[in-house]
Amino acid sequence: MALALRCLRPLPSLLHRSSFAMARRLPQAPRGCPAPLLEGCRQCVQQMLLSRQLATKKGKGKGQSQAKVNINAALVEDIINLEETSEDMQAVIEALKEDFSRNLNVRTSPGALDHITVATKDGKFPLNQLGQISQMSPQLMTVNMASFPESTAAAAKAIRDSGMNLNPEVDGTVIRVPVPKVTREHRESLAKLAKQSTNKSKEALRKVRSKSITQVKKFKNKVSEDTIWLLEKQIQQMTDEAATEMDKLLAAKTKELLG
């Protein structure tokens, strides 16, 4: 019995120290907060999470990998819609994929001509809305412009300027399009076009980034500098990831084109 009492004697002080340590680890509500943190003061939760992320970021020493910013979009929806920004960036990537698939192939097919844009006096239209495109042989395609004969010259020019290394020949309302042989020069030309398309897509990506950053900066007088800094970092991170995906698409397409 005496031995048991001696073992139990230190418990009160140990429990006191343990509860004190736990209390120190609990997040404290900012001074002046109108509601307890654990009861759902949204602003407090937001600031706490952002501050923790910032502390993690700034706590990294030189030469060490920096923590990845990953802000909960719901916590900052009053400032910017990060999901919409992500969707806009993904749309740019998808447009690049479609361009690669439709326009940059070693073997030219009728489908490659479908969406060549023709500038007419009534506006701009896809070629397949103005003429009937046919594959006459592996070496020849034709575009019958009988429905819109006045746009024949414009359609021929659009085909010539498409960057697909095509030299159309006009015969009345029919445009003959010889299919070029698959030469090394042709492959290299297509690879250059793929690079140009990727650069244009990256420019569109930067426009999405700039638009989002501008939106965030509108709130610089309403939220903390840390919040603005983290949001800008998140948007830049999203931009970098999208650009990396574009580079991978370009590398794969270049390998396909050059063989």
pLDDT band, residue 94 (cuts 50/70/90)? very high
Angle at 189 between CA 108 and CA 119, to 5 degrees: 65
C-beta neighbour count of 11 within 10 angstroms: 9
Query: Which one-letter DSSP state was computed for residue 36?
Result: -
What's the CA gap between 240 and 6, in Å, rounded? 63
Element (H or E) spanning 134, and its range?
Answer: strand 132-137
In the chain, what percentage of residues exceed pLDDT 70?
73
Of 92 and 180, the one with more pLDDT: 92
Of 24-38, 137-151, 172-186, 196-210, least confident by mean pLDDT is 24-38
User: Distances in Å between the alpha carbon of 251 and those of 51, 158, 183, 193?
Assistant: 39, 28, 20, 13
Instruction: Categorise residue 63: left if φ over 0, alpha if ψ from -120 to 50, beta otherwise.
Output: left
Say which residues have a Cβ less than 8 Å from residue 92's Cβ, sequence separation at least 6: 201, 204, 205, 208, 242
Domains of the chain: 73-103+183-258 (1.10.132.20), 108-178 (3.30.1360.40)
Report pTM.
0.63
SS (H, E, C) 62-114: CCCCCCCCCCCHHHHCCCCCHHHHHHHHHHHHHHHHHHHHHHCCCCCCHHHHC
The Cα diameter of the chain in Å comes to 116
Closest CA to 58 of 244, 247, 248, 229: 229
Instruction: Categorise residue 253: left if φ over 0, alpha if ψ from -120 to 50, beta otherwise.
Output: alpha
C-beta neighbour count of 237 within 10 angstroms: 14
The whole-number average pLDDT for the span 174-202 is 90
Would you state the pLDDT for residue 185? Answer: 86
Would you state the pLDDT for residue 73? Answer: 77
What's the CA gap between 33 and 56, in Å, rounded? 24
Residue 183 reports pLDDT greater than 60: yes
What's the CA gap between 209 and 85, in Å, rounded? 8
